Amino acid sequence: MTGNTREKKLHPATLLLNVMIVVLAAVVIFLLYSFVNTTIVERPVEYTTERKADTPLGTVIQLEVLNGCGVSGVAQVFTEFLRRRRFDVVQAGNYTSFDVVESLVIDRVGDRSAALKVARALGIDEKNIVSQINPDYYLHVSVVIGRDYQQLKPYQ
């Protein structure tokens, strides 16, 4: 009986091909699972930059911090301070001039309560909140840091 039965030996190339097929099948299954999971199960959040008048703003206030006093590093200190308090600082930079005496909070979308929250967080007086509605801005508030920056909360 042993003379009639032949043991089949797999050729090394055939074995390698079978292993590659199994690995590629596992990769395809993983990619398919990931695709289904991210597009159907966990639908991506749709972002919009426009706000309708009857839609309330979210809890996150987006703002920019502008250096209006000319002291190097001030905008970065304010940015870090606000981010630690969960404000979304989307931009930091310089204001058009460096001769701002008192710091300002500028309401950009007509939501004074958002501007008030930012002003209170920084210790800026309510009288220094101004409204400049601009539909081209995609943020709620602009903060202009004046020469009074050392009296404000990030420096206390």
Give dist(CA 122, CA 104) in Å, integer. Answer: 10
- What integer pLDDT is reported at residue 141 of this predicted model? 95
E strands within the chain?
62-67, 88-94, 104-107, 129-131, 141-145
Contact between 64 and 90 (Cβ < 8 Å): yes
**Residue ranges of the chain with pLDDT lower than 70?**
1-8, 41-59
Q: What digits encode the pLDDT tens for the residues 23-59?
A: 999 999 999 988 887 777 655 444 333 444 443 545 6
